[in-house]
Chains A and B, each alone.
Chain A
Amino acid sequence: PGDKSTHQMNAFQLIGMASSLDLSGLFEE
């Protein structure tokens, strides 16, 4: 499970993929 690129990320890069950390949703109309 999980592709190779995911395994190569550091934990903080991985966490950065969380959609709830993407604040662009605040700007969508």
Chain B
Amino acid sequence: MGCVSSSPGRSRRAPGYEDPAVLASQTSFTVNEVEALYELYKKLSYSIFKDGLIHKEEFQLALFRTSKGPSLFADRVFDLFDLKRNGVIEFGEFVRSLSIFHPKAPESDKAAFAFKLYDLRGTGYIEKEELRELVVALLDESDLCLSDSAVEEIVDNTFSQADSNGDDRIDPKEWEEFVKKNPASLRNMSLPYLQDITTAFPSFVMHSEVDD
């Protein structure tokens, strides 16, 4: 009696699979790197649900190594990767979104992604209350301890630098100017791992069908 393996095989393509050459042409990755990312994608997308799509639980499991409770930041990143807003990250979405985190990706793309990440209610502005909420979420998930007054001071000081027209919200233009003056604010938007995936993660590299 035969049996069907649930492990991701080389020949089986995940739903939403896209041609690596097309993805390479649209991102900061080479074809070989996109193929290496596909190996990573398969590993993540079969970690719990075995359907070749990355669900939120699988994304969080990969980020934290354990099943932990809800995380505002992980939820936000997942939702931004899920470009079609259908509750899963498809392969093309995975590659296109990760490309923004490539060290060589344009700063403007990183800034735009971070702006969407921090615009919690999708109003097109980062409001003071949203920034306060983000700082409190950071404190909740870390060992850092700041008093309420210290949080207020940090948020107020940041707004005094970023909100140049003083309307208590940061618009995309103000954000662009702010990150130009404060590039460290985008530090988490670059992943050195992505600089050369095929060298850093040889186990993800299959025999490529193409030469870059």
Contacts and interface: CB of A to CB of B under 8 A. Distances in A.
A13 B201 contact: no
Contact of A2 (B101, B134, B146): B146
Question: What does DSSP make chain B's interface, helix, strand, loop or mixed?
Answer: helix
A26 to B, nearest CB: 5
Contacts of B153: 7
B142 A17 contact: yes
B141 A19 contact: yes
A21 B188 contact: yes
Contact of B188 (A1, A11, A22, A29): A22
Nearest to A10: B158
> Which of A19, A23, A29 has the most chain B CB within a 10 Å cutoff?
A23
Contacts, number: 102
Interface residues of A, number: 25
Interface of A: 1-2, 6-7, 9-29
Interface string B109-132: 000001000100000000000010
Nearest to A29: B203
Contacts of B137: 18
Contacts of B40: 26-27
Given A1-B145, A1-B147, A11 B64 contact: no
A16 B188 contact: yes
B184 A18 contact: no
A22 B114 CA distance: 13
A15 B132 CA distance: 10
A16 B144 contact: no
Nearest to A26: B62
A10 B154 contact: yes
Contact of A23 (B77, B150, B200, B203): B77
Contact of A17 (B63, B71, B144, B186): B144
A1 to B, nearest CB: 4
Given A2-B150, A10-B157, A24-B193, A15 B138 contact: yes
B182 A25 contact: no
Contacts of B141: 18-20
A22 B161 CA distance: 25
Contacts of A11: 131, 134-135, 154-155, 157-158
A9 B151 CA distance: 11
